[in-house]
Amino acid sequence: MIDSYSFGRIVIDGKTYSSDVIIFKDSVKANWWRAEGHSLCIDDLKEVFKKKPEMLIIGTGKMGVMDVPQDVIDYVTNQGIKIMICKTDEACERFNEMVKEYNVVAALHLTC
């Protein structure tokens, strides 16, 4: 569960992270970095595809600056994964609502 989120900081199950993260049902990938910084690429999500979640929630930052290109959206949906893209505040809320019932993963940009 995500305990709290603020610009550049997230607390997950009592542990604080200050860099972007991917949250799986059973683990957290800390220090998640994207090949193109503020634009998401398919390769940035390779660990997500290995887990085969039902849903991928992408948090695009506090102000929603991170871009999710259409080719990434198409690739995710072609893998049979539902996708939700929103600012990170909302992404955290949606993850907490869904994590107990679904195999959901959240890829979260914590700043801009």
pLDDT at 108 over 90: yes
Domains and CATH numbers, the chain: 2-108 (3.40.1230.10)
Calpha distance 65→49 (Å, rounded) = 24
pLDDT single digits (tens) 21-63 = 999 989 999 999 999 889 999 999 999 999 999 999 999 999 9
Give the pLDDT of residue 37. 82
Calpha distance 31→65 (Å, rounded) = 18
Calpha distance 102→25 (Å, rounded) = 9
Question: SS3 helix, strand, coil % of the chain, rounded to 5?
Answer: 25, 30, 45
Structure confidence at residue 11 as a pLDDT band (50, 70, 90): very high
